[in-house]
Amino acid sequence: MSNTKIKISEERFDAIVVGTGISGGWAAKELCENGLKTLVLERGRMVKHIEDYPTAHLDPWDLPNGDQPTQETIERMPKQHRTGFVTRESRKHFFVDDLKHPYNEDRRFDWIRGYHVGGRSLTWGRQSYRLSDIDFEANKKDGIAVDWPVRYKDIEPWYDKVEEFIGVSGENLGLKQLPDQKLLKPMNLNCVEEHLKNKISESFDDDRLLTIGRTAHITEGTKPGLGRSTCQYRNRCMRGCPFGAYFSSNSSTLPTAEATGNMTLRPNSVVHEVIYDDATKKATGVKVIDAETKEIIVYQAKIIFLCASAIASAAILLQSKSERFPNGLGNDSGELGHNIMDHHFKVGASARAEGFEDKYVKGRRANGVYIPRFRNLGGKTNTKDFIRGYGYQGGATRSGISELVAELKYGPELKEAILKPGEWRIGLTAFGETLPDHSNRMYLDYDKLDEWGLPTVTFDADFGENELAMRKDMREQAVKMLEAAGFKDVEGYDNIEGRAMGLGIHEMGTARMGRDPKTSVLNEFNQIHSCTNVYVTDGSFMTSAGCQNPSLTYMAFTARAANHAAEQLKNNNV
C-alpha cells in the first residue's frame, strides 16, 4: 500500500460515521438530524430495504438443500458455521466468507460478522433490555477492572428516546435489576410457558419470575422509517424483514438520516486508519480503501464516529499510528484491544411437557421467554461461589408434524402423522456475565495480511474461573425450575467443552470507558480521552458486560454521544 497513490477527497464533512449497524445507524440519524453533513462509510456491499432480502418469502422447499448448509458453504464459512445457524441457505448471504475475511486464534474465538449496509442490525436477536445501576456500579463494588464513568440516571433519558423510536414490546416488572422501559404491548406466552411462570412464582421465594422477552418488534401502531408496520409472526427475521416490523438500520435509522438531506452513504469503503494531526491534537479524517478498486481515499471531517463493531473499531485505532500515538490512536493506557467480553451461554435445561395435548399455537412468534437475573442481588439471592449473575431465555414449542414421520409410513398412516402435532417441549438457556480481564485481548498480525493489504486480527481470549463457577448454578437452577413445574424427562446441559468466546455474538470491551485516562480509552461521553473529536460507540466502550443483551445500550450511548458531539461542534469545542 505504501506505493499506492492516495486520493484526497475534495468533499468536506462535519462528521464521518464508520459502520452502518446498530450503532452506526443511530450515529448517522442523530448527527444528520442535528444538521451535520455526515459521511457514512460501510466496508461491505449495499443492501436496500426489502429489495435486497432475496429469501424473505421463500419456504423451506424453495431453498437449496432444505435450508441446510451445503458442503461448499461450510468450506468457505468454517468459522461462521460454528454457530450452527448462520450458514443456512436462507441467511448465509448476510454473513462473511471466512476465506475472504480471515482472522487468527491463539485461543479460539468465534467472530461472527456481516459486512454490508445494516451489518448485524439485519440479523440480531432483537432482545432489548436496559442495564441498571447494579451493572454500572458492579466493577467499583467488586474491585474489578475500572469503574464506569456514568450511572443509570445519565443514560435513562437516552434509553427512553431509543425505545420510543425503534419500538420494543414487552412487560414492565418494576425490578431494580431490570429497569422498566418504554414498551409496546407484549407478545403472548403460550400455555406451557404460562404454566411454568405460575409454578416458578409458587415454588421460589427469591423473587425470580418469568416474562415474555422484551424484543424490538412493533406490536402496535407504526414507527419511523420505510413503512414500518406490526410484526407478522413469520419468524423469518434473519432474512431481513420486508415489513420493517423489527428494528434495523436499513428500515429505520438510515432512511431517517437520509430524509434530512445531510447523509452521504458510501458502501464498499474499508476504513483502516483515523488520521491524527499532531499540531492540532485532533483527528482530521479517515483513510479508506475502496473494496472493489483498491483505491485509497482520504475523507476529512471535524468529528469521527467509530461504530464498526468492538473488534473492527479497535483494529482501526490500533492501525492509526502517529508520532503522538505509536501504539495506536488513544492507546496511552495500553488497554486498547484488551478486556474482551462476551456473554457465556449454552447451558441450561430442557424437558417434555405433558397435559397440553389439546392446545396449539397460532403463528410463529419471533420471541421467547425471559427470566431476569435473580443471583447476587442481596440477601438470600447472594452466593459465595461467584459474583455477578445471569438470566434465562427460552420457551416452549410443540414439535412436530411431518418431520417426525417414520420413513416407512405411507397411505393413511402418513396422512395421520402429518396432521397430528408432536409433543410439547420446553427449554431454558442461561446467559451469564463475563468479567473484564486485561489478558483477554485481540491484536494485529502484520505478517498475515488480508486482500486489502491490512493486518489480520488475532484473538487471545477465553472465559475465566468466575464464569465456570457460575455455569454450575445456571444449569442447576434451570433443572430445578423445570422440575418444579412438573415437566417430564428434565435434562440439564452445559456445552462449555469445545466452545469459546464469540458465539454469544456480544463481543465488547476493547476500548473501555473510564474515569482515568491511565486505565481507560474513552471518557464518559465515548470520546477518546486524548483525542476528543473521535467517538467510539459500538460494543468497544463497554466497561462491564452485565448479563443483558447489549444492543439497546449501544444505541442509547450512541444517541447520547452524537448529541454531545453536535453540541460540542456548535460551541466550537471540537
Answer yes or no: is 515 within a domain: yes
Looking at the fold, whether 136 and 209 belong to one and the same domain comes out as no
Tracing cell 418444579 back to the chain, one arrives at 484
Answer yes or no: is 181 within a domain: no
Among residues 203, 196, 251, which one has the least CA distance to residue 228? 251
Looking at the fold, whether 222 and 89 belong to one and the same domain comes out as yes
* 160 to 124, 152, 156, 163, 557: CA distances (angstroms): 21, 12, 6, 5, 12
Q: What sign does the CA torsion over 346, 238, 31, 282 have?
A: positive
Tracing cell 432444505 back to the chain, one arrives at 66
Looking at the fold, whether 254 and 380 belong to one and the same domain comes out as no
Residues forming beta bridges with residue 352, ordered by sequence position: 425, 488
- CA dist., res. 46 & res. 48, Å (int): 6
Answer yes or no: is 322 within a domain: yes
Looking at the fold, whether 383 and 477 belong to one and the same domain comes out as yes
pTM: 0.96
SS3 77: coil
Answer yes or no: is 106 within a domain: yes
CATH number for position 101: 3.50.50.60
- Look up residue 73 and give its amino acid: T
SS3 500: coil
The secondary structure of the chain in percent helix, strand, coil, rounded to multiples of 5, reads: 25, 25, 50
Answer yes or no: is 444 within a domain: no
CA-CA-CA-CA torsion for 42, 45, 50, 52, nearest 10 degrees? Answer: -170
- Look up residue 383 and give its amino acid: T
Query: Residue 361: its pLDDT value, please?
Result: 86
* 497 to 168, 346, 468, 500: CA distances (angstroms): 35, 10, 11, 8
Q: Sheet harboring 211-212: ordered strands across?
A: 211-212, 369-371, 390-398, 424-432, 347-353, 488-494
Looking at the fold, whether 375 and 495 belong to one and the same domain comes out as yes
Residue 4 burial by Cβ neighbours in a 10 Å radius (0-12, 13-18, 19+): exposed
Average pLDDT along the chain, 574 residues, taken 10 residues at a time:
79 98 98 98 98 95 91 96 93 97 97 98 98 98 98 98 98 98 98 98 94 98 94 96 97 98 98 97 98 97 98 98 98 98 96 94 93 96 97 90 42 61 93 98 98 97 96 98 98 83 96 98 98 98 98 98 98 88
Query: Residue 273: its pLDDT value, please?
Result: 98
Number of domains composing the chain: 2
Query: Taking a C-beta distance cutoff of 8 angstroms, is the pair 22, 124 a contact?
Result: yes
- CA dist., res. 17 & res. 12, Å (int): 13
Query: Taking a C-beta distance cutoff of 8 angstroms, is the pair 541, 512 a contact?
Result: yes
Looking at the fold, whether 480 and 526 belong to one and the same domain comes out as no
Answer yes or no: is 535 within a domain: yes
Residues forming beta bridges with residue 228, ordered by sequence position: 223
- CA dist., res. 461 & res. 563, Å (int): 34
Looking at the fold, whether 396 and 286 belong to one and the same domain comes out as no
Query: Residue 64: its pLDDT value, please?
Result: 87
Query: Residue 407: its pLDDT value, please?
Result: 42
Looking at the fold, whether 410 and 521 belong to one and the same domain comes out as no
Looking at the fold, whether 389 and 355 belong to one and the same domain comes out as yes
Looking at the fold, whether 27 and 1 belong to one and the same domain comes out as yes
Query: Residue 549: its pLDDT value, please?
Result: 98
Domain, as residue range, for 356: 189-213+344-432+464-499
Give the count of alpha carbons within 13 A of 519, CB side only: 13
- CA dist., res. 321 & res. 332, Å (int): 12
Tracing cell 461462521 back to the chain, one arrives at 80
Query: Taking a C-beta distance cutoff of 8 angstroms, is the pair 336, 511 a contact?
Result: yes
Query: Residue 90: its pLDDT value, please?
Result: 96
Q: Is 505 left (phi over 0), alpha (psi -120 to 50) or beta?
A: left
- CA dist., res. 55 & res. 240, Å (int): 8
Looking at the fold, whether 413 and 337 belong to one and the same domain comes out as no
Query: Taking a C-beta distance cutoff of 8 angstroms, is the pair 331, 318 a contact?
Result: yes
- CA dist., res. 20 & res. 254, Å (int): 8
Residues forming beta bridges with residue 456, ordered by sequence position: 445
Query: Taking a C-beta distance cutoff of 8 angstroms, is the pair 104, 457 a contact?
Result: yes
Answer yes or no: is 175 within a domain: no
- CA dist., res. 364 & res. 442, Å (int): 39
Looking at the fold, whether 83 and 205 belong to one and the same domain comes out as no
Query: Residue 414: its pLDDT value, please?
Result: 57
Answer yes or no: is 426 within a domain: yes
